[in-house]
Structure 1
Amino acid sequence: MSARSAAFRSSLSAGSALMAGFISGLLAPLLVVLLVLVGVPFGAALPVGLAALALLFFVLVPRVPAPWVEYLRGKSRTAFVLLTLASVLVVVAMARLGVFMLDPNLKQYSLTPKVEFMVKHTCLSGYMSAAVMAEQGKENLFDLSLYKSHEMDAVLPHVEPLERDYYAYPPQFLLLPKLMLTMSRDFFALRAGWYVLYAAAALVAMLLVASWVGGREGAVLGALTPVVWISLPTLVNVQLGNIHLLVYGLCLGAMISFQKRRHALGGAMLAFAILAKIFPGVLGIYLLVQRKWKAALWTTGFGVLYTVGAFLVFGEKPFVDYLTSAVPRISSGELFDFVWNFTPAILVNYSPFGVPFKLQLVGVEFSDPLAVARAIIAVYSLLVVALAVAVAHRLYKRETGGEEGSRFRLTQLVVWLALLSLSSFRSPFAPWTYCAVGGVWLFAAYVPFLRSGAKHLVPFVLGWVVISLYGPPIVGPMVAFTLVAQTVLYVTGFWIAVKVSTPARAPEPLPASVGPAALG
């Protein structure tokens, strides 16, 4: 213990204390939730959580990577104070959320107690309800009216005072909620457990990604983890429980595994991510262009394995319903027809598909807004595919040319994040509440590439704020705000991917008149 104490004292600094405090402060409330979930009274779980916080802080301080500490040591006092404030706010928000996850009636502990949607919405309710219906094998999982039907209340999990969400994912994703149902049929116990797993996995994913990048670039990304968390898209993802943020973690973990030649692990993660959300399929294009055949084959193999597993567990009906009912209606936007007549849903939709419907709110008329929306999303999709091919080819040439190191690893990470963020908006309905998280993470990853000076820093910070917050609750200004935010997400995604993937120009050789020969 004396050796550990000495290591703690020698490693303790403002930077190591900040990072260790943030990590332990975020994980300790999760432990309290977990203890209460297994039956420990809250009054007993709380002191255990505080003790765990102190112990984890003691253990983590010597383990904060030296480059991270060095980077934080070089920051100005103002920047360090702001980063500390962000860390404290995240810890407080997560501790409060833990209370709300244990008791949904205590809505005052949610992120936004006065916003009815945020208080009552839970994506997990849709996952679990679909898994229950799939078990019975009678209903069309993609008939959204079933999720609001009083006749189904006796069959589906009880979720009041929350509201039941619907299911619009591929059948293979049902393997996850099915696994959860084998652990418990109590929705609120599963909700609290999902919160613990979700938050811990998201934090670990961010820290591991920063560690993989390494060097000063990884230090910057690691130190900015609290900034990624303080954004509303990250916290909202955690509260609502949408799989979206974890899909990013799976995708990045998969791509890093492929870089380490752990193809089976990478294939298992990427295949599930694609079958959960579809949009990560853009990384499949990336792999093919880069001629990473083993990675593509392992991903395909696990995709087949998950499909066979879901077929054996649930039968053919979910697949038939998905292909004949869901896919055509998702592509056309008809599955989300309730969205196009509901102003709050139109405003929160950050997909290019929703632009005509937003413009109609401020007086721009379209004879057929759905036709316009389909044309817009078709062009957007082609641009994303073209971008994926172009940047994958560029990075392939750089990698086969021998380029490596933390700077290049960060370049790869930024490109992956940009492609994922852009492709996530391909869905006709891509709510800001969780889809903007890719842009938030992308901005943080791009910081080491950012040029110094106010003319570069100020627009960058303003862009981050615009995508991290939600606008005024007035239709006209809100339409303008969201259109600006969408434009920021699209333009920066394309621009950053192109910029970082472009090889640095080699210095031109000196003219012979000023070269070594002339000096002789």
Structure 2
Amino acid sequence: MQTVHVQGRAWERLAVALLLCAFFGICAAVAVTALQAAPSPLALLPLAIALGLSPMLARHLPRELDGLLRAHPVLSLLWLALAALTVARIAGVALFMADPLQPQLSAIWYDPFYVNHSCFSSYWKASELASAGAANIYDGAHYAGNEGRFKLDEYLYPPPFLILPQLAASLGAGFVAMRAAWFAVDAALVMAIMLAVCAWIGGAAGRRAALLLPAAWLALPTLITMQTGNFQLAAIALAMLAMLLFQRGRDEAGGAVMALALFKIFPGVLCAYLLFCKRWRALAWSIAFSLLYAALAYAMLGAQPFRDFVGYEMPRIASGEVWSWMQLEGLEAVVAINYSVPALVLKLKLFGVDGLEYRHLAAVALLWSVVVVALAWLAARRASACSRLELAAVWLGLLGLAAVRSPFVPDDYALFPALWLWCLLAAGQVRAAAHRFLRSAAFAVLWLAFAIVMPIGLVQPQHLPLLLAVSTASQLLALAFWLWPVLRRPAAQGSANTTASASPAAA
């Protein structure tokens, strides 16, 4: 009888394992489909294998999950419904990635802009241009056309980033196939790192954070950014993975991962954090691998992309010319959904504040850079007193604050670090705390504020005031939310879960 009772309590772990295996199995199925000349039943084999492995995975999940259905039946059933819906939504987007002729499966199927938008198109086109030895891969004239249904985006990244699409192109498949494969790798990588962060946090807080992850994946910013293929989510996840490796004393591996994240530039805020923590080896390995990737890109692509970047693109970035299109009449809706701190200048102008011009963006960007570096210094000073949950929250807060330093950060990928941070901070709430209902309600409202992406393809001029008000309120909430873990004093000082940032052995 005792054996039957124990086996019965394992159903919770099996359910979690099935959903996890379904998620990664869907990613694998999309990757297999992308690498085939045509869809076939073989693509379902990875999903079937993944689901078949779920009982094995269930045995390795925390035993604390056992009995949750009996102890908390309503919450358990709600979680199962949320997680199942998340997997279903991921499956729908995955099908759209495998077949762009199924727009009804898009994350926002009713918005023509997102249905026909692909950030990956810029990576793909720039990689093709660089391989062909084209003059100036940063010239916007190269990106005037389309890749199938998708309008080409302009390429704005440093040359070393092209290593990644070059590796994708080496598989010999076309744009549609590589768009799907990019999605599969991106989604699996980000989810795996999010789970790794929860495992590193450990304890009840780590388990709660892991169980809250479906809320981050069901939200539109995560789904849309995965669909469009922007590297932003992967950069944030890779930066977090690098910090975990540094905490474990694996500075060489952490440096290799951090250098990949630095393709997006803004994760450099964590390099400033490492500097202030006096983590010299971690910082040195990050710099060393950044130079190595640059040398590899130089060997693969030659000198021309580097000359184009230094001589053409960097002056345009410094002067703000790259973002000058935000001044154009008719693009007010795009300005409204811009979560960049410098772009608040343009938002205030739309609100009717006089005396503000586009030229003020550079001054605000410089000021915000100073603020973010100062916050990194403050976080480094307090790091030794932080619990693992608090450290992870601080890193995410710094990444979110640094990411919005760019003049243009649309709501879809701007809000992902807020959603991930929401999972950590919600998990850290003491269940027996006073005003528990009010705290839960506040976190529910915050999730709603971060989970919505405005359908700008449907915005009419009369909708602009409402769009501007809603997006600005959400932006300010996100800024406050990222500042919260960075500015608050560590609450877990002296606890068993405390780990000194300056001492990898403690992790």
**TM-score normalized with structure 1 length:** 0.86
Match of 1:282 among 250, 258, 269: 269
- 2:389–2:424 Cα contact (<8 Å) kept: yes
Aligned 1:291-440 pairs, distance under 5 A: 291-341=278-328, 342-366=331-355, 368-396=356-384, 398=385, 408-440=387-419
SS in 2 for 1:84: helix
Aligned length: 481
In our comparison, the structure showing a higher alpha carbon Rg is 1
Counterpart in the other structure of 1:3: none
Residue 11 of structure 1: how far off its partner (Å): 7.2
Measured in 2, the distance between the counterparts of 1:442 and 1:333 equals 30
Counterpart in the other structure of 1:55: 52
Deviations 1:234-290 (A, max 9, x none): 11121111111111221111111111111110000101211x100000011111111
Measured in 1, the distance between the counterparts of 2:130 and 2:39 equals 36
Counterpart in the other structure of 1:94: 90
Measured in 1, the distance between the counterparts of 2:8 and 2:16 equals 12
Deviations 1:365-402 (A, max 9, x none): 44x52133233322222211111001111114x3xxxx
| One-letter identity of the residue aligned with 1:484 | A
| One-letter identity of the residue aligned with 1:122 | S
Measured in 1, the distance between the counterparts of 2:38 and 2:8 equals 36
| 5+ residue gaps, structure 2 | 496-507
Counterpart in the other structure of 1:154: none
| One-letter identity of the residue aligned with 1:468 | A
| One-letter identity of the residue aligned with 1:444 | C
Measured in 2, the distance between the counterparts of 1:163 and 1:500 equals 47
- 2:22–2:51 Cα contact (<8 Å) kept: no
Q: 1:46 to 1:322 in 2, by over 3 A?
A: closer
Residue 434 of structure 1: how far off its partner (Å): 1.0
Deviations 1:384-437 (A, max 9, x none): 1111001111114x3xxxx7xxxx111111111110111010111111111210
**Match status 1:224 vs 2:212:** yes
**Match status 1:148 vs 2:127:** no
Deviations 1:64-96 (A, max 9, x none): 2224x1695597433323322221111111111
**Match status 1:44 vs 2:41:** yes
Q: 1:310 to 1:32 in 2, by over 3 A?
A: closer
Q: 1:466 to 1:74 in 2, by over 3 A?
A: farther
- 1:330–1:428 Cα contact (<8 Å) kept: no
Residue 340 of structure 1: how far off its partner (Å): 3.1
**Match status 1:15 vs 2:17:** no
Measured in 2, the distance between the counterparts of 1:448 and 1:468 equals 18
**Match status 1:455 vs 2:442:** no
Q: 1:471 to 1:103 in 2, by over 3 A?
A: closer
Measured in 1, the distance between the counterparts of 2:403 and 2:489 equals 20
| One-letter identity of the residue aligned with 2:378 | A
Where relative contact order (Cα < 8 A, 6+ residues apart) is larger, the structure is 2
Match of 1:33 among 30, 33, 37: 30
| One-letter identity of the residue aligned with 1:462 | V
Counterpart in the other structure of 2:184: 196
- 2:327–2:358 Cα contact (<8 Å) kept: no
Match of 1:486 among 455, 466, 475: 475
The Cα RMSD (Å) is 2.5
- 1:32–1:42 Cα contact (<8 Å) kept: no
| One-letter identity of the residue aligned with 2:134 | K
Q: 1:41 to 1:130 in 2, by over 3 A?
A: closer
Q: 1:39 to 1:179 in 2, by over 3 A?
A: closer
- 1:96–1:109 Cα contact (<8 Å) kept: yes
Measured in 1, the distance between the counterparts of 2:396 and 2:4 equals 36
Counterpart in the other structure of 2:149: 161
Counterpart in the other structure of 1:510: none
SS in 2 for 1:168: coil
Counterpart in the other structure of 2:501: none
**Match status 1:267 vs 2:252:** no
SS in 1 for 2:154: coil
Q: 1:17 to 1:313 in 2, by over 3 A?
A: same
Measured in 1, the distance between the counterparts of 2:392 and 2:67 equals 20
SS in 2 for 1:179: helix
Q: 1:346 to 1:13 in 2, by over 3 A?
A: same
| One-letter identity of the residue aligned with 2:309 | Y
Measured in 2, the distance between the counterparts of 1:59 and 1:503 equals 35
Aligned 1:492-503 pairs, distance under 5 A: 492-499=481-488, 501=490
Deviations 1:83-135 (A, max 9, x none): 22221111111111222112111111111112112111111110011111112
Residue 12 of structure 1: how far off its partner (Å): 5.3
- 2:97–2:180 Cα contact (<8 Å) kept: yes
**Match status 1:442 vs 2:383:** no
Measured in 2, the distance between the counterparts of 1:421 and 1:409 equals 18
Deviations 1:153-199 (A, max 9, x none): xxxxx721111111111111111111111112511111111121111
SS in 1 for 2:378: helix
Residue 43 of structure 1: how far off its partner (Å): 5.8
Q: 1:284 to 1:490 in 2, by over 3 A?
A: same
| One-letter identity of the residue aligned with 1:176 | L
Measured in 2, the distance between the counterparts of 1:333 and 1:419 equals 24
Q: 1:303 to 1:360 in 2, by over 3 A?
A: same
Counterpart in the other structure of 1:65: 62
Measured in 2, the distance between the counterparts of 1:75 and 1:481 equals 39
Percent identity between the aligned chains?
A: 30
Counterpart in the other structure of 1:511: none
**Match status 1:179 vs 2:162:** no
Q: 1:66 to 1:329 in 2, by over 3 A?
A: farther
- 1:282–1:385 Cα contact (<8 Å) kept: yes
Q: 1:505 to 1:36 in 2, by over 3 A?
A: closer
| One-letter identity of the residue aligned with 1:51 | A
- 2:129–2:137 Cα contact (<8 Å) kept: yes
Measured in 2, the distance between the counterparts of 1:53 and 1:315 equals 41
**TM-score normalized with structure 2 length:** 0.88
| 5+ residue gaps, structure 1 | 1-5, 150-157, 507-520
Match of 1:208 among 154, 177, 196: 196
